[in-house]
Chain A
Amino acid sequence: MIILMILSIITLALAPFTGHYRGFYLCITLGSVGLVTSIVYIPLIHYAKTATIKDIGRKAIQDIWILTSMGIGYMVTAFAPYFNIVPAISVILFLIGAFMSIYGAYNLIKISKRTGLPLAV
Chain B
Amino acid sequence: MKNVLEKYLNSRDFKYFIEGAYMSATEARPTDVYGDYATAVVPPEETRSTLNIFMVYMGVLAVVAAIFAGSALAVMYDAPRILLVALIGDIILAILGGLIAYIGGATRANTYMLLRYPLGRIGAMIAALIVSGISCGILWFAVETWLFGVTTSVMFPDNWFFSIAVASIWGGLLMMTTAYAGYKGIGVLSYLTVPFWYVLVTLGFFAALDYAGISPERIWTLGPEKILADLGPGITFTVGLYAAGCVITPDVSRYGEKRWSGSVAWAVHVAVFMTLLLFIGAVMTLATGSPNVIVAIAQIGLGAGALMLAILGQWTTNDNNLWSGSLAFVNVVPYFKRRTWVLILGIVGTIIAGVWGGLLGMSLDPFITFGMLLGIAIPPIGGILIADYYIFRPYVLGIKDPTQRYKFGPGTRYGLINIPGIIALIAGCIIGYYTTYVQVIGAGVINSILTAFIIYLVLITTMHKLGIKYEAGAWIERPTGF
B residues within 8 Å of A by Cβ?
A: 48-49, 51-52, 55, 184, 186-188, 190-196, 199-200, 203, 206-207, 210-211, 300-305, 308
What residues of B have a CB within 8 angstroms of the CB of A119 in the complex? 184, 187-188, 191
> Contacts A29-B203, A80-B304; is A120 near B190 (CB within 8 Å)?
yes
In Å, the complex CA distance between A118 and B51 comes to 14
Select A29's contact among B188, B199, B305, beta carbons within 8 Å.
Answer: B199
Q: How far is the CA of A121 from the CA of B55 in the complex (A)?
A: 10
* Residues of chain B contacted by A58 (CB below 8 angstroms): 49
Q: Is A81 an interface residue (CB 8 A)?
A: yes
Closest A residue to B303 by CB, please name it.
A80
Comparing A6-14, A45-53, A67-75, the segment that makes contact with chain B is A67-75
Given contacts A72-B308, A120-B48, contact A82 B199 (CB under 8 A): no
- List of A residues within 8 angstroms of B210 by Cβ: 22
Q: Which of the residues A69, A75, A82 comes within 8 Å of B207, measured between beta carbons?
A: A82
A70→B196 contact, CB < 8 A: yes
Contact A68 B200 (CB under 8 A): no
Residues of B within 8 A of A96 (CB): none
Known: A118-B187, A120-B188. A76 touches B304 (CB 8 A): yes
> Is B301 touching A81 in the complex (CB atoms < 8 A)?
yes
Chain A interface main SS type: helix
A-B contact sample (16 more), CB < 8 A, given A30-B199, A58-B49: A22-B210, A33-B195, A62-B49, A65-B191, A65-B195, A66-B191, A69-B191, A69-B194, A70-B195, A72-B192, A75-B304, A77-B305, A82-B211, A82-B302, A119-B187, A121-B49
Once the chains bind, are A120 and B207 in contact (CB under 8 Å)?
Answer: no
Please determine whether B48 and A69 come into contact, CB atoms closer than 8 angstroms: no
Which secondary structure dominates chain B's binding surface? Answer: helix
Q: Which residue of B lies closest to A79 (CB)?
A: B304
Do A70 and B199 form a contact, CB below 8 Å, given A119-B184, A120-B48, A121-B48?
yes
| B196 partner residues in chain A, CB cutoff 8 A | 69-73
Q: Which residues of B contact A26 (CB under 8 A)?
A: 203
In the complex, what residues of A have CB within 8 A of residue B207's CB? 22, 82
B-side contacts of A30, CB under 8 Å: 199
Nearest CB of B to A105, in Å:
9
**Contact assessment for A66 and B199 in the assembled complex, using a CB-CB cutoff below 8 Å:** no
Contacts of A25 in B (CB 8 A): 206
- Select from chain B the residue with minimum beta-carbon distance to A77: B305
Q: Which residues of A contact B52 (CB under 8 A)?
A: 120-121
Please tell me if the beta carbons of B199 and A120 are within 8 angstroms of each other in the complex: no
A73: chain B residues at CB < 8 Å are 195-196, 199-200, 305
Provide 7 A-B residue pairs closer than 8 Å at the C-beta atoms, listed in order of the A residue. Answer: A65-B195, A69-B192, A73-B195, A76-B308, A81-B300, A82-B301, A119-B188
Whether B195 contacts A66 by the Cβ 8 Å rule is yes
In whole angstroms, how far apart are the Cα atoms of A79 and B304 in the complex? Answer: 9
Q: Which residues of B contact A71 (CB under 8 A)?
A: 196
By a CB distance below 8 angstroms, the chain B residues around A65 are 191-192, 195
- Are A76 and B203 also in contact (CB < 8 A) when A62-B51, A120-B187 are? no
Least Cβ distance of B151 to chain A in Å?
Answer: 16
Q: Complex Cα distance A77/B303, Å?
A: 9
Which 4 residue pairs of A and B lie closest in terms of their CB atoms, listed nearest first? A120-B187, A81-B301, A73-B196, A69-B195
Chain B residue at minimal CB-CB distance from A72: B196
